[in-house]
Amino acid sequence: MATEWKCYKQTFRDTWIRSLKSPVNLLITDTIIPGLHLRFYATTKNIVFYLGYMVKGSRQHRNIKIGNWVDLKTETVREQAAEFRKQVTNGFDPMEERQKEIKKTLDEQRQRIKVSVLLEEYFEKVSKTRKRASTQKSDRGQIDRYISRSNRARRRLDDPDIIRRVRKKYTRK
């Protein structure tokens, strides 16, 4: 079953948006800035602002998310929408720029050292050289049980500051 949307135009005001209620999803276009619209999701009562635009030089239509109504006021939304529209008229694609930024941060995260690499480094440099076999086995068991299986612990330990501190502690002589 397709989601039902009701569409109409209205000048955005904070007081009007605050009182927005509907049993169906709403797509409301602002009358002041062309392309600016909000989406009201009936099930979650979430309100999200978007700017619709055509990519210059192609016939591609895009919608860039500006933000949630809870986080922004309508004046701020209009300012950001006007800035995006200036970028579009100058030939830039704001969605493409945002996607490049996201890709860059993901690449940086992938290049950070991972916990598994740090643990192997620990076993090679510290555990095998300074500890007895029974302690090595105990260390390996605890790490496998508490860190390797837990994504939450691994994410916390993937923090570069923690990794630097651990490396510094165990590489001293």
Instruction: Please identify, in words, the CATH class of the domain defined by 5-94.
Output: alpha beta
* Integer CA distances (angstroms), 145 to 35, 123, 159, 170, in order: 53, 16, 20, 22
The secondary element (H helix, E strand) that includes residue 13 is none
Q: Is 143 helix (H, G, I), strand (E, B) or coil?
A: helix
* C-alpha of 135 from chain center: 41
Is the whole-model pTM more than 0.75?
A: no
Give domain limits for the chain: 5-94, 115-171
Task: Provide the residue type at 29 as one letter.
Answer: T
Cβ proximity of 117 and 123 under 8 Å = no
Q: How many CB atoms lie within 10 A of CB 50?
A: 19
* Integer CA distances (angstroms), 126 to 102, 120, 135, 139, 142, in order: 37, 10, 11, 11, 16
Query: What is the per-residue DSSP string for 21-69?
Result: --SSEEEEE-SSSTTEEEEEETTTTEEEEEEEEEPTTS--EEEEEEEET
- Tens of pLDDT along the chain (173 residues)? 457 888 989 899 988 888 889 899 999 999 999 999 999 999 999 999 999 999 888 888 999 999 998 888 999 999 999 999 999 989 888 988 889 998 898 888 777 767 777 777 777 777 778 888 888 888 777 777 766 665 555 556 666 666 666 666 656 54
